Structure 1
Amino acid sequence: MAHSTPAANKAAALELVSDYSLEMTGKDVPGLIEAKDSIPAGTRINVTFLGNEDLEMRVAAAKAVRELGFVPVPHISARRLASQEQLEEFLAALQAVGATENVFVVGGDPSTPEGPYEDSYDVIRTGLLPKYGVKHVSIAGYPEGHPDITDDQLWSALVNKSASLKEQGLDATILTQFAFDTDPVMNWIDQVRAKGIDTQIRIGTPGPAGIKRLLGFARRFGVGANAMIVKKYGFSLTNLLGTAGPDTFVTDLSALLAADPKTGSVKLHFYTFGGLKATADWADKYAAAQS
């Protein structure tokens, strides 16, 4: 269902872009240090769990996030874990540097699990997370679906994970894949709320980045980026030079959210594609324009 976009609402735009979260990899610590003065203190910063990084690198990045005055949200990639022992080793190492209160549990990329965990629900229902000091768990949401998982499976997983976290007394956030188009995002939020899930949602949004790179990531993750959408958001499929920021998407999404109070608590999560300072500077400039 298409949502007609109301007029821009500066107060709503300012509210949406406040208290954003960011994403970095284990290799981005130098970029984080460069960006630290541009990022508001206490910002939630997710630390990815990539196949080409090791435990030490992930833990060091989470520690750096905390020491610089931000909130580390390390990723736990279920399908990359070879054993329960490896999961506990990672949690213990994070706990030792004060970085387990907030985690993001995700299925992960490998088509075949490397150990006993088929998906993020398998990790959550072990009951091990609270044992290592976890208090808040982020889980994944897919407004435009997933290339390898059916919609029915995605909804079932979201409902089951939400219920399990509630049973364990853990706070939760739903963090989505990035999007360019407000229609599938708003429709998906409506469906989440219709299922009785009132968890805060963080909508994944690409920070300012090279157009060619953005479209490459969109294709990889099955995100819609057709000619109409990319034209709407200010860049062209025929001219892949230059950069694009999420100004139009954020402005339109904030107006739609403000017009529909049933959407509940919705914030932004920026996929920075390595550009932490560029993203934080963009958010600062965008917020200033709304004030």
Structure 2
Amino acid sequence: MSHQPTPFDRTALLDDFSIEVTARDGDRLTEAASSLPTGTRVNITALGTEDPTARLALAASAHRAGLTPVLHLAARRLADEQELRSELQAIQDQGTSSHVVVVGGDPRKPVGPYDSALSVMRTGLLAEHGVRDVGISGYPEGHPDIPRAMLAQALTDKVALLESQGIEATVVTQFSFDVDAVLGWVERVRDLGVEAPLRVGVPGPTSVKRLLAFARRCGVGTSAGVARKYGFSLGNLLTTAGPDAFVSALGERLEAGRHGDVRIHLFAFGGPVGTAAWARDYLAG
């Protein structure tokens, strides 16, 4: 008897999608809130150049607007345990600690005792401060400094540790332009026995020039062939590119039974207003 794959509704990718912003997007996120479904996860990045109080204020604003703020904690930027406790206590006090993302962070050398996201998770302080769901990083196109085997081991270690602490894990990926790379990565993750929800990172609509700048910064591949598949031309940097073709192609090739819970995570490189409008129009269309 032949195997009949369970079809994956491509609109399901944008059912409960998430969006990623920076503290600088405060006013624009307020404007975008009316276009975002109630409860939408809003990841707020931890940039070393931003004021931490601005990120806290944005999380509180998102919470008041009926959204779910997800603050990033950058392990290698934490000076000591007291700073970690203070950050967690601050978000717990304002009722925004249920969801966080824990990343290693930009500095190659840690400023304190935490050299990785896993080292922060091992403290046990997340559950103590009301964290129920932790976002962890995924890399469909690999990482320039970390071998694939080490990435796989870190992923399984984090998921197992969080499970032992009674915390749910959500894997949020670096953005990609390559559907083949994403599908291959999803299958490898499932083959590892990781059943956690996966949120595949894609850029919201923005200029091609801006897209390429972020791609270079993040080490994401942008060959001419992949760019054409994604839907933009490397020969015209002034045009705007959106993820329509990528999302449609990914949705058509996913199988619910094989690939599990997969959603879209939109990086608001062009701003939260345009990103929210894109998601609304894609679902309507």
TM-score over 0.5 (shorter chain):
yes
Corresponding residue SS for 1:237: coil
Cα deviation 1:131-187 (Å, max 9, x = unaligned): 111111110000101112221221111011011001101011000000111111111
Q: Which runs of 4+ in 1 moved over 2 A?
A: none
Q: Is the 8 A contact 2:162 2:169 kept in 1?
A: yes
2:63 aligned to 46, 61, 66, which one? 66
1:137 aligned to 134, 145, 150, which one? 134
Q: Is the 8 A contact 2:88 2:97 kept in 1?
A: yes
Mapping of residues 1-291 of structure 1, within 5 Å? 12-258=9-255, 261-289=257-285
- Taking the aligned partners of 2:175 and 2:37, their CA distance within structure 1 comes to 22
The residue identity in structure 1 corresponding to 2:18 is S
Cα deviation 1:215-270 (Å, max 9, x = unaligned): 11111111111100111222111211111000000000001113x62100000000
Judged with a 3 Å threshold, the aligned counterparts in structure 2 of structure 1 residues 248 and 274 are, in CA distance, closer, same or farther, namely closer
Cα deviation 1:58-117 (Å, max 9, x = unaligned): 211111110111001100011111111111110001111101000000111111111111
- Taking the aligned partners of 2:128 and 2:192, their CA distance within structure 1 comes to 29
- Taking the aligned partners of 1:274 and 1:139, their CA distance within structure 2 comes to 24
- Taking the aligned partners of 2:190 and 2:262, their CA distance within structure 1 comes to 12
- Taking the aligned partners of 2:48 and 2:234, their CA distance within structure 1 comes to 31
Corresponding residue SS for 2:9: helix
Root-mean-square deviation (Å): 1.4
Aligned residues: 280
Cα displacement (A) at 1:54: 2.5
Q: Which runs of 5+ in 1 are unaligned?
A: 1-5
Moved more, 268-277 or 93-102: 268-277
Q: Is the 8 A contact 2:79 2:113 kept in 1?
A: yes
Corresponding residue SS for 1:284: helix
Q: Is the 8 A contact 1:92 1:132 kept in 2?
A: yes
Corresponding residue SS for 1:223: coil
Q: Which runs of 5+ in 2 are unaligned?
A: none
When normalised by structure 1's length, the TM-score is 0.93
Judged with a 3 Å threshold, the aligned counterparts in structure 2 of structure 1 residues 280 and 67 are, in CA distance, closer, same or farther, namely same
- Taking the aligned partners of 2:187 and 2:244, their CA distance within structure 1 comes to 23
Q: Is the 8 A contact 1:55 1:90 kept in 2?
A: no
Corresponding residue SS for 1:179: coil
Q: Is the 8 A contact 1:24 1:274 kept in 2?
A: no
Q: Is the 8 A contact 1:146 1:221 kept in 2?
A: no
- Taking the aligned partners of 2:232 and 2:270, their CA distance within structure 1 comes to 20
The residue identity in structure 2 corresponding to 1:113 is P
- Taking the aligned partners of 1:271 and 1:161, their CA distance within structure 2 comes to 23
Cα displacement (A) at 1:274: 4.9
Corresponding residue SS for 1:205: strand
Corresponding residue SS for 2:20: strand
Corresponding residue SS for 1:129: helix
